[in-house]
Amino acid sequence: MEKTIVIADDNVAYLEETQRYFQNVAGYRVVGVAKDGMEAISLVEKNNPDFLLLDIVMPELDGFAVLSAIACSDFRPTVIMISQLSGGIPTDMKILDIFSSTERLAGSLIA
């Protein structure tokens, strides 16, 4: 079964690259792309994704405010916080490693 993802980041190049990456990875599907925190909350509520790839620094609401908002809702995606403050877009392998590790962790917590 496909895992669904919402990506929230105000860096358009990162959004496009990450969305393009997941188009070629079996088992994952991007169901929403947000450029600010308010849009991220709306997409999580609309799509109820398995994962939320969430930037820390964004317009409208930052990543921490988004976390607070969805913590009070019925929608509980696995959240992966990201920041490009140290520079560079993660490579494809790093992105896949992050998702694989997160799924293993989530599976062990549920078991």
What is the structure's pLDDT at 88?
Answer: 53
The neighbour count for residue 82, using CB atoms within 10 Å, is 21
Give the pair of three-digit tokens for residue 65: 């405010």
The predicted pLDDT at position 32 comes to: 96
Question: Could you say which DSSP state residue 90 is in?
Answer: P
Give the SS3 label for residue 6: strand
SS3 25: coil
Beta strands in the chain (DSSP E): 3-8, 28-34, 51-55, 78-82
> What does the pLDDT read at residue 108?
44
Mean pLDDT by groups of 10 residues along the chain of 111 residues: 92 87 88 95 95 90 90 86 64 54 49 42
Angle of helix 63-71 relative to helix 37-47, nearest 10 degrees, comes to: 30
| pTM of the predicted protein model | 0.76
CA angle 17, 82, 58 (to 5 degrees): 85
| N-term to C-term CA, the chain | 19
